[in-house]
Amino acid sequence: MTPKVSVIVLTYNQEKLIGRTLDSIIAQECDFPFEIIVGEDCSTDGTLTVCREYEARYPGIIRLFANNPNKGLLDNYYDCLLEAKGEYIADCGGDDFWIDPLKLKKEADILDSDPGITIVHTAWQYYDEPTGTVSPSHTEEYHSKHLKPISPKGELFLPILTDTHAPLIHLCTAMYRRDAIMKCYNADTRLFRDKQFLCEDLQLTSSLSRDGKVAYIPDVTLSYSIGKPSVLSRGNLEKTWLFHTSTLKLLEYIRQQNDIPYSALATKYSDKLYYVLTQAFRLQDREKIDDTLELYKTTGTPKSIKARALEVLSSNDIVWKNALRLLKSLKPDGNE
């Protein structure tokens, strides 16, 4: 039977968590068939073994794609999308989990009700792995004016791009039309496949919000896992720098492709460029400083006084080193 919904699950080195994720999806109460597409990206722990066990237990639901060699986030996600058979697509991170057994049904009902809606999303919460405690995402606080039951076509396009808080649309809470995203994918495959773009969600949510209506359900359906090392971990400055510079490049590509005036994204560029400049400065990495300064030029973003100060301090290795020592003595935790 052809599934109505395909749920994409990407996983890498999540041996202890992937079972929880899959259980939360299998527990969905639906009056339609759905499939789970697992993109296992050449883990070095026992993640693949766990995934194979689940595929064997649920052969009519789970389809496992065991990558070898590792594909990386972008290719893993969009290869899974191309394999999807469902009319609608949802996804859940391999360390996150759904907490509402009616999530898929609620979202599918909304998409069924209005063909002009390209994506529907919900509220979510943080789940701290070490303590097991939950906390609100504050999405409603940050984005209250944008969280309408139905937002007209194009209304959320810029808000998604200019967002500086938690994402306006958390993709792991969402469901979207496969044909709508494939239309975008086929029109500009580079947007979804360029290796310099390290995230998969911004191009997807912005494209869908540009081309159709966005629906929102205020129910909390997702526990988003925190409290462990990740690509956004503050303890890993190099990966943090790489991720955010990649996002800036993606943002600039979207801006140019959609003829968005620079002024609409000026604040986002200024804030994020200064942030990545501080990461490069703390790393004492000349190449990363130069690359960040080049991004200032590429985007046409003027440097703030603080940014110019970091540029000057990093121009001399001895001054740079002493500045870092002073910074660490004032803030031993290393936070800016």
Q: How far apart are CA 140 and CA 152, in angstroms?
A: 19
- Percentage with pLDDT > 90 across the chain: 90
Which residues 6+ apart lie within 8 Å of 303 measured at CB? Answer: 296, 311
Length of the chain: 336
Average pLDDT over residues 156-164: 94
How high is the pLDDT of residue 332? 53
d(CA 127, CA 137): 10
CA distance 10 to 51: 11
**Average predicted confidence (pLDDT) for the chain:** 94
Q: Which residues does 178 contact at the CB level (< 8 Å), separation at least 6?
A: 6, 81, 84, 86, 87, 88, 89
In whole angstroms, give the CA distance from residue 52 to residue 80.
Answer: 17
Per-residue confidence (pLDDT) for residue 331, from 0 to 100: 65
Which residues have C-beta within 8 Å of that of residue 16, sequence separation ≥ 6? none
Tokens 């809470």 locate to: 173
Range name among 113-117, 130-134, 232-236 with the lowest pLDDT average: 232-236
pLDDT band, very low/low/confident/very high, at 229 (cuts 50, 70, 90): low
- Going by their DSSP bridges, the two strands 117-128 and 213-226 should be labelled as parallel
What does the pLDDT read at residue 140?
83
Residue 136 bridge partners (DSSP): 125
Contacts of residue 61, Cβ cutoff 8 Å, sequence gap at least 6: 26, 34, 35, 36
233 pLDDT above the threshold of 60: no
Q: Tell me the pTM.
A: 0.93
pLDDT above 90 (res 333): no
Instruction: Categorize the per-residue pLDDT at 336 as very low, low, confident or very high, splitting at 50, 70 and 90.
Output: very low
φ and ψ of 17, to 5 deg: -115, -25
Confidence of residue 237 (pLDDT cuts 50, 70, 90): confident
Q: Higher model confidence: residue 138 or residue 46?
A: 46
Give the phi and the psi of residue 301 in degrees, each rounded to 5: -90, 120
Confidence of residue 231 (pLDDT cuts 50, 70, 90): very low
Decide if 148 contacts 244 (C-beta within 8 A): no
